[in-house]
Amino acid sequence: MPNSRCKPILDSGPSLECLKDEADLLLKCSMAPNSWKTYKTAVECLKKFRIIYNNRDIWPVPIDEIAQFIAYLSYKGSKAIWFVGSSIVYWAQTNAKTRYGGPNIGLQSRGVYIRWFGKRGMLWNDFNAKVSHAVDKFSPPAMIIIQLGSNDLVKVKTLELIQNIERDILRLHLLLPNTRIVWSEMLMRRYWHGATDGKAIERSRKRVNSAINNYALNDGHCVIQHPNIRAREMNLYRYDGTHLSDIGYDIYLNNIQGGIETFLSSQKIRRFPEV
């Protein structure tokens, strides 16, 4: 038993500060050196967790806070993937919650969790602000998937949109150099809201996809294509001809899941599906 350095206060016993020192000494002597190092590391991690979430320094630690701390450690050991885009991403998240595999689309077994950043009506000019806000709030992700640009096709000239996308993908790469960037092709639509010539918009969509596919692949990024989502398949779309149906989202999410799994398993494969 270690010798205590606390001197009792007459008629009252040791002070609380002395009792704390004594407890720390007893705890330290009760564990092997390696176990003590692990304990200290865990306590430091708990302190950081409490600072991040503005939790009070209370001992013993409340049960609900222990559960939150365990969840925090689980997230830290996982691969975060950000999914950024317009209403396609917004509704994909809604559909994913009802599917087997949930909002992580079945990838949690691979240590993956997805943060969804979907905004209905989102335009390409909103992209930088959306990403900057996420960067300020969260640690950098292992991968970021971009599903955006379709709403711009009826508002912005084709060449200008291509240049804007290339510029901001370059900016994103400089901002998050260790994050894999994935361009998910703009999908076909049966109806382009606000367009006077739907066929012309479809030609523009193809040109933008082709240009950004080449740019992304040549710059070391990844591409997810959606050859199984075609405008002629009426059952893949809602009544508005713009948004996907439940069946359409099942196919779409399967494509996204397949792309993520492929890119995580190999640094060499950068296009899904492979051709």
Q: Tell me: the pLDDT tens digits for 211-266? A: 999 999 999 999 999 999 999 999 999 999 999 999 999 999 999 999 999 999 99
C-beta separation of 80 from 113 below 8 A? yes
* DSSP H or E segment with residue 114: strand 112-118
3 pLDDT band, cuts 50/70/90, is: low
Is the pLDDT score of 10 beyond 70?
A: no
Are 38 and 132 within one domain? no
Is the pLDDT score of 24 beyond 70?
A: yes
Kindly report which listed range (46-55, 164-173, 252-261) carries the lowest average pLDDT score: 46-55
Are 90 and 157 within one domain? yes
What one-character-per-residue DSSP string does 75-103 give?
HHTSEEEEEEESHHHHHHHHHHHHSTTGG
CATH number assigned to the domain comprising residue 242: 3.40.50.1110
Specify if 131 maps to a domain: yes
Are 153 and 205 within one domain? yes
25 pLDDT band, cuts 50/70/90, is: confident
What one-character-per-residue DSSP string does 179-237 give?
SEEEEEPPPP-S--TT-S-HHHHHHHHHHHHHHHHHHHHHTT-EEE--TT--TT-GGGB
Specify if 235 maps to a domain: yes
Residue with token string 């995580």: 264
Identify the three-state secondary structure at position 10: coil
Angle, helix 198-218 to helix 158-175, in steps of 10 degrees: 30
Query: What Cα–Cα distance (Å) separates residue 182 from each residue in 10, 11, 30, 82, 247?
Result: 71, 71, 51, 10, 23
185 pLDDT band, cuts 50/70/90, is: very high
Range of the domain at 54: 22-73
Are 62 and 181 within one domain? no
pLDDT tens for 97-121 read 999 889 999 998 888 999 999 999 9
pTM of the model: 0.74
pLDDT at residue 26, rounded to an integer = 80
Specify if 4 maps to a domain: no
Q: How many domains does the chain have?
A: 2
Residue with token string 């559909």: 95
Measured CA to CA, the distance from residue 103 to residue 83 in angstroms comes to 11
Kindly report which listed range (25-29, 100-104, 188-192, 249-253) carries the lowest average pLDDT score: 25-29
